[in-house]
Chains A and B, each alone.
Chain A
Amino acid sequence: MKLLFNILFVLFITALALPSDARSLTPVEGLEALRKSFAGMNDFTADLVQEKRLSVMKKKLVMQGKIRFRKPDLFFMELFPPYNARVLLKDTVLQQRMGQNGDLQRIVLPSEQGLSHWFSTVARPVTKVPDGIEIRAEQAGQQTTVLIRPNSGGQLKELMVSLHNDGTVRKLILLERTGDRTEMNFHKIKKNVGLTEADFSLE
């Protein structure tokens, strides 16, 4: 689970930083573009609307919140009522507080799963598509869509990232093999705004 969390997180962060000259890309070019775009970003903020469709539930769960990130290893996500939650990841230390007055939960990840490790990994130039994944990218109008499909048969069936040609991600869709689907739409994305430590607090 922690591994999946980190993979999703890195894809999520790099996608948010994609540059504005989006075009049709080969898989390698697509991954390389993600890497280069991340290199030019120090921090960002965005509003988030997360919609969860569970195959077992007719009702769609709609959660709203905001996210923040700062290099090299700080990530914060807050979900607003009625699904209050705050998550703070500082390299290998994951803290979260669920509910209005929920207790603080703290999990220490192994060092190889820490944010700094993952981002140093993705900072290396991409020369080939990593084994075990299939990547497709296409552009339509002002929107570029990148589809990532792991071949491992694991939990994640498909990850789709939709980017506007202004270089910001507008949509992220996670499709699980169970049919469960999570769609995240991002608004008011701001890059390199000078976030400080005070912007990454659960209090």
Chain B
Amino acid sequence: MLRFFMIITVAALLSACATGRELSKSCSALTSKAAVKTLSSTVTVSLRTADRHISGRGVMLYRRPDHLRLIILSPFGTTVMDTLVAGENITIVYPATGVAYQGRIKDLPAKAGQRGFAMLRWVLDSEPQSGSPADGVIGRTSVNGSLERITLRDGLVVEKSLKSGELVSYRKYENLSNICLPMELQMETADGDRVKLNLEDPEANTELELTAFTIRLQGLRLFPLSELKAQ
């Protein structure tokens, strides 16, 4: 589940200037769109697979270029899962059981994200090439060497897909201080797993200190990512 959260979250952030199928007028009318440097927002996340459905509410922090934190909360407000991505490294903490997993993203077990790493790289490379049509569909070779298909509207990315079946779409855009933010993202894997992320009350480009991207590991049992199992 973690990899989906990461990928969708990063997709939302890096595609913040993209447009969606449900583009609002206020957003489409923008002629000059600002870039996202930081973003903080409450979020709801939902994962649906063939055999389970998991959802929750939490908080997401992002600081360009490569710091991301996602905290999932219980209904009583306590932290269920705390995840930090900093560059190529990832830390996952489950406070209730007092365990933490740490390592490089590429070392996530296959079930937890080996393939997700490649997808993350793919999502990061979401900007259309110069000279791309304002509306339409283009194909190009992605960063991981696969053929990707990009759907554009008003010159920006609406949807990305890989021939292998992965798909990311961006919906319900809103204009947030000249930043077009997709308030809803949905990703489908080649296996049919579906993850939906909704932003709630986001704030962009406010000050976010690097200390917000540090997880305290004191008192936790620390394991390598290879020990990570589905939660």
Q: Is A74 an interface residue (CB 8 A)?
A: no
**Most chain B Cβ neighbours within 10 Å, of A8, A54, A184:** A54
Task: State in angstroms the CA–CA spacing of A84 and B204 once bound together.
Answer: 22
Other-chain residue from B46, B78, B206, B216 in contact with A103 (beta carbon distance below 8 A): B46
Q: Which of B9-17, B94-102, B174-182 contacts A (4 or more CB under 8 A)?
A: B94-102
B77: chain A residues at CB < 8 Å are 50, 52, 174, 180, 182, 184
Task: State in angstroms the CA–CA spacing of A50 and B42 once bound together.
Answer: 15
Q: Please determine whether A59 and B55 come into contact, CB atoms closer than 8 angstroms.
A: no
Task: State in angstroms the CA–CA spacing of A50 and B74 once bound together.
Answer: 12
Q: Is B75 an interface residue (CB 8 A)?
A: yes
Given contacts A98-B57, A103-B53, contact A178 B95 (CB under 8 A): yes
B56: chain A residues at CB < 8 Å are 98
CB distance from B111 to the nearest CB of A (A): 20
Q: Is A57 an interface residue (CB 8 A)?
A: yes
Other-chain residue from A3, A56, A99 in contact with B44 (beta carbon distance below 8 A): A99
* Interface of A (DSSP majority class): mixed
Q: Is A193 an interface residue (CB 8 A)?
A: no
* Interface of B (DSSP majority class): strand
Task: State in angstroms the CA–CA spacing of A85 and B57 once bound together.
Answer: 9
Q: Which of B118-126, B134-142, B143-151, B195-203 contacts A (4 or more CB under 8 A)?
A: B195-203
Count: A-B pairs, CB below 8 Å? 100
**A 167-179 to B, binary, CB cutoff 8 A, 1 in contact else 0:** 0000000101110
A5: chain B residues at CB < 8 Å are 74-76
Q: Please determine whether A52 and B73 come into contact, CB atoms closer than 8 angstroms.
A: yes
Q: Is A153 an interface residue (CB 8 A)?
A: yes
CB distance from A6 to the nearest CB of B (A): 11
Q: Please determine whether B61 and A57 come into contact, CB atoms closer than 8 angstroms.
A: yes
Q: Is A163 an interface residue (CB 8 A)?
A: no
Task: State in angstroms the CA–CA spacing of A96 and B54 once bound together.
Answer: 10
**Most chain A Cβ neighbours within 10 Å, of B40, B77, B216:** B77
Q: Please determine whether B57 and A103 come into contact, CB atoms closer than 8 angstroms.
A: no
Given contacts A82-B200, A83-B42, A98-B44, contact A176 B95 (CB under 8 A): yes
Q: Please determine whether A182 and B69 come into contact, CB atoms closer than 8 angstroms.
A: no
A105: chain B residues at CB < 8 Å are 46, 53-55
Q: Please determine whether B71 and A177 come into contact, CB atoms closer than 8 angstroms.
A: no
A77: chain B residues at CB < 8 Å are 75
Known: A9-B76, A154-B96. 7 other contacts (CB 8 A): A56-B212, A57-B212, A83-B42, A85-B57, A177-B219, A180-B79, A182-B78
Residues of B whose CB lies within 8 Å of any CB of A are 40, 42, 44, 46, 48, 53-57, 59, 61, 69, 71, 73-80, 82, 94-98, 198, 200-201, 203, 206, 211-212, 216, 219
